[in-house]
Amino acid sequence: MGTSAADDATRTELPGHSHVPLHGEKQKSKTERDAELQVTLLLRRRQALPDPHAQFGSQLPHEKRHLTASELANEFDTTQDDIACVERFASAHELTVLKAAQHQRKVVLRGKAEAMEKAFGVSLVEMEHCRGSYRATIGTASVPRELNDVVQAVMGLNTRPCARRRTVHHNNTTAPYWTAPQMAEAYGFSATRSAAGQSIALIELGGGYHEGDLRQFFDGLGMPMPVVRCVSVDGAQNAPASVEQIKQFLDVVEGRRKISEVPEDVLSAAQCTVEVTMDIELVAAFAPGAEIVAYMTPSTEQGIYDAISQAIADPERLPSAISISWGEPETGVSGAYLRSVDEVLQEAALLGVTVCASSGDDGAMNGSTDGTPTVNFPASSPHALSCGGSTVRAATGENLREAAWNCMLHGIHGATGGGVSRTFETPPWQQDHNVPLAPTGNRGRGVPDVAGPADPHRGCAILVGGESCSSAGTSAVAPLWAAMVACMNTALGARCGYITPLLYQLAKNGDGPLRAITEGDNGFYKAGQGWNACTGLGSPEVDKLVAALGEGRGGKPPGAS
């Protein structure tokens, strides 16, 4: 398939659009010529986005003047001429325009696989892997010269999974260490905390939740049922595993059943459901009064981009924070995907949305296939608040002692992700915090920024499939920080938004509002004073954070006596 030699001479390859293989994948067949495909084209902006750091620097929340959704849409959109150019291209290649959104710089096309191959100069094949079946391209996607610079990215030709979660299972029972109210007290959340008026977006990749679990969980806490809205993206729905499937998974987690006794598809469906339910229960328990919006989307580059961009495109429900409890090594995703998602996170920062992303559960190596450490994306984006994991060593009275999370789970190693990006340069706000060179020799963005409890042996009680179990992984840390940001926004009467540079500024004093974690390692890097590549600047002390962020208003949050 693809284009002819004559066509090739007048086409431009799109950078970062080659298939990134999964280790162990096998080509199964060619994609059926009549198979219906849907792709998303991202177009250039009429002008470049501002740098959020230059825009806000270390401003306190009440000093920030975030862009409005209409300002972002009207000043940094694409042009109608560029959309018309893409529409002509689609017509010439027998592709249908499903959506042309000038404000989102997005054109969605549908057509048969054969037409897509000719339009973008690739061959399409079907791959199989232990993580599932998917479509891949042979060759680098290209466009005709008239679309050179107009089309920035094409997503949907490849459907390789680009986010993974670790299956956590143990050989010993791990009863939850504490309840949500106990954990909230330990981390300095006010007993009268509220996130009223805030909205928190959760990006969810498969699985779902049972409303009955949520009712039972919040009844047990004596809290009202939260408002949870489910949004379907690219056809994905709230599709929880059955109670019986969840029970089989929890039997494996608690060592009551061997992993070989449960089908892989059952484990996968149940784990996704546990993860989605955990996100909702933790966010709502720590941020009472917030509206929770779960964006259900496929685990593909196209699906993930569409979910995040849709979450920040709703002017009526612009979230205070976005929680992203998954990731993929930077080396495991395409350059086009890295650039596109980082740019939409940049938009979120300018709008005043705090994006909290999990740093990963596989330690510094993070499943690396080249023998050197690699960090998780999107946690490595400089526009995200990267969330690492800790193990609580002691929690008595006001004493909370933590170490970098690093333990064995039923013979499988689990540890906080962290290290140095191979893709993103060291941002200005990290340059005075001793970020080491990456093992590849480059200077890069240090991961993570902050930490929170990730060890399932010291986890928070959640309820799934009618059974109580423990929160686990950095997947539990991202929603904790998202909830905290929502509560701080309500207390301060202002959006924290792009808070990452400010946290580094506050940490310079040595007695900032984050609790340093100086013990432990993640298999390559060691925890220590100051920023480190295991737990970042440390774990939260929410009451101190609120006081520090309200400094410009007399050292007290609005409404404080």
CA distance 412 to 418: 18
Instruction: Indicate the SS3 state at residue 182.
Output: helix
CB of 533 within 8 A of CB of 389?
Answer: no
475 is catalytic: yes
CB of 105 within 8 A of CB of 45?
Answer: yes
Instruction: Provide the pairing of β-strand 385-396 with 354-358.
Output: parallel
Long-range contacts made by residues 26-30, C-beta under 8 angstroms, separation at least 24? 26/127, 26/128, 26/129, 27/125, 27/126, 27/127, 27/136, 28/125, 28/126, 28/127, 28/128, 28/133, 29/125, 29/126, 30/123, 30/124, 30/125, 30/126
Q: What number of other Cβ atoms are within 10 A of residue 92's Cβ?
A: 11
Instruction: Indicate the SS3 state at residue 519.
Output: strand
CB of 524 within 8 A of CB of 364?
Answer: yes
Instruction: Provide the pairing of β-strand 376-377 with 11-13.
Output: unpaired
Which of 204, 279, 281, 361 does the annotation list as catalytic? 279
CA distance 533 to 550: 29
Which of 82, 204, 254, 275 does the annotation list as catalytic? 275
301 is catalytic: no
75 is catalytic: no
Which of 268, 359, 475, 539 does the annotation list as catalytic? 475
CA distance 91 to 213: 49
**Token pair for residue 490?**
């309500």
CA distance 457 to 478: 18
Instruction: Indicate the SS3 state at residue 551.
Output: helix
| Positions marked active-site | 275, 279, 475
